[in-house]
């Protein structure tokens, strides 16, 4: 039973993303939304923690939230993909449940 985890807080303001990464099981998916999209950026202090889970966990960011913050998808770290709202819906449908990390 796979879980879609959504993270909406900046990883530089809270420990929510790190906690999510530690609790996500292999086969789960993590979608960073709102200020959570900063967690998918390459070259940050969290890049190693995120990179350690790519492959075992599908990691995505919401592209509309990247754009709203003036961030280019090219700045995402390897293994993190950008999805639109249609991709968000697909992730919800592909997983058995959704866990929101507030």
pLDDT tens, 64-97? Answer: 999 999 999 999 999 999 999 999 999 999 999 9
**pLDDT for 102:** 87
**pLDDT for 90:** 98
* 57 contacts 48 by C-beta, under 8 angstroms: no
pTM of the model: 0.96
Q: List C-alpha distances in Å: 57 to 5, 69, 77, 82.
A: 10, 25, 14, 15
**pLDDT for 53:** 97
pLDDT in tens, 24-40: 999 999 999 999 999 99
Number of folded domains that form the chain:
1
**Which residue segment(s) compose the domain that 52 sits in?**
3-101
Residue 12's domain is classified under what CATH number?
3.40.1260.10
């Amino acid at each position: 039973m796979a879980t879609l985890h959504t993270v909406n807080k900046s990883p530089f303001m809270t420990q929510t993303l790190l906690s999510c990464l530690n609790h996500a099981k292999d086969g789960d998916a993590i979608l960073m939304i709102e200020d959570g999209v900063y967690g998918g950026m390459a070259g940050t202090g969290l890049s190693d923690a995120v990179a350690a889970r790519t492959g075992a966990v599908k990691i995505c960011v919401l592209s509309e939230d990247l754009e709203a913050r003036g961030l280019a998808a090219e700045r995402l770290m390897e293994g993190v993909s950008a999805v639109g709202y249609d991709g968000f819906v697909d992730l919800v449908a592909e997983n058995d449940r959704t866990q929101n990390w507030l």
